[in-house]
Amino acid sequence: MFADEATIEVAAGKGGDGMVAFRREKYEARGGPNGGDGGDGGDVIVEATHNASTLHDYRHQKRVVAENGEPGGPKGKTGKAGEDKTIKVPVGTVITDADTGEELADLTEPGERIVVAEGGEGGLGNARFKSSTNRAPRRSTPGKPGDERTLELELKLIADVGLVGYPSVGKSTIISAISSAKPKTGAYHFTTITPNLGVVQWKDIEAFVVADIPGLIEGAHEGQGLGIQFLRHVERTELLVHVLEVTPTVEGQDVARDPIRDFEVLCDELEKFNPELLERPQLVVLNKIDLPYAREALDEIRAHFEDEKGLPFLAISAATGENLDEFKDLLGQGVSRGDFGAIPPHWEA
């Protein structure tokens, strides 16, 4: 099961208490104070790692507690500090204080970490209170409590390219065709219920990451379909690819897929969720052109996007591999430059 959000309670360790003790040596019956300080409590730390891919573990582990510091000892010995507790989360995790709504961190690099709850300081032993006027203090202080807070963890996948489109338009098939990823697919809506990531090898670029954002539909920004659960992942992508398809009209059934209308609906959903998304470089891809009715509509669809919308457009077939090399080139060039740039007009499908 994919989990991209979780709520957990964290509690840092309490500081150990300071100790009241006196030297009791053979020839010093009235030795001075030597009670040691308590050890500091352990911190709770959140660290990003590539070894975790979901927040699933923290949907069940609701409370994370660091170790308490040990009390001070005789002969001025300081108590052992409590061990820190480190929470490992996927790269791309946003950490928010659930009570205040403050964003504490956005961990976008492996190894990046933040202390989310500080351990309490250890208490002072009586040796700390010795003075010229008080040579035998019997005073010590208790350790301080550690921080406690409730955190909201939210994972936003990080990818160079995001594929958006209606369910069953072939996004998962495209991922499997251009990368080594092998997402499960089926002939029904919402086959993909978890985002798929594919690492694509291309020419001078060592690799870039493509994400299949699961089925967006009209009303997604309000939670329809898979809704906001996966719209948040689009925010992490630098380039957007609209994957469209055309389907035939069956008499008596309203099943036709109109790519022009679908594009407008998807743009509207993206804008309502986050208007900045439509400012990113975008490519329009018509998939499944190996099907006769799709090829027949190709010229009209291409003219709409290239001539009327002024958008880069490419027709492909993920099933047969048609134009997939050109598609990978476009993505690679886009990742390298930061936009899709000028595309040769009217690439023939």
Q: What is the pLDDT along the chain (349 residues), one digit of tens a residue?
A: 445 788 999 999 999 999 999 987 766 666 789 999 999 999 999 999 988 877 888 878 889 999 999 999 999 999 999 999 999 998 889 999 999 999 999 998 999 999 999 999 999 999 999 998 898 899 999 999 999 999 999 887 778 898 988 877 888 889 889 987 665 444 434 344 456 778 888 887 778 888 887 655 444 334 444 444 556 667 778 899 999 998 876 554 455 678 999 899 888 888 888 888 888 899 999 999 999 988 999 999 999 999 899 899 999 999 999 999 999 999 998 998 888 865 544 444 3
CATH of the domain at 219: 3.40.50.300
pLDDT of residue 346: 45
pLDDT of residue 25: 73
Q: Which of 155, 186, 221 is the last residue of a domain?
A: 155
In a shared domain, residues 324 and 193? yes
Per the structure, the count of domains in the chain is: 2
In a shared domain, residues 100 and 124? yes
pLDDT of residue 347: 42
Rounded to 10°, the helix 324-337/171-178 angle is: 80
In a shared domain, residues 75 and 219? no
In a shared domain, residues 86 and 234? no
In a shared domain, residues 11 and 127? yes
In a shared domain, residues 211 and 83? no
Q: Which of 131, 155, 179 is the last residue of a domain?
A: 155
Does 148 fall in a domain?
A: yes
C-alpha span between 119 and 128 (Å, rounded): 21
In a shared domain, residues 193 and 328? yes
In a shared domain, residues 74 and 188? no
In a shared domain, residues 25 and 150? yes
pLDDT of residue 86: 96
**Residue 12's domain spans which residues?**
5-155
Does 348 fall in a domain?
A: no
Does 107 fall in a domain?
A: yes
Contact, 241 vs 283, CB < 8 A? yes
Write down the pTM of the prediction.
Answer: 0.67
CATH of the domain at 90: 2.70.210.12
Does 342 fall in a domain?
A: no
In a shared domain, residues 241 and 207? yes
In a shared domain, residues 150 and 184? no
C-alpha span between 322 and 178 (Å, rounded): 12
What residue spans of the chain are helical by DSSP H?
171-178, 228-234, 259-273, 292-296, 298-303, 324-337
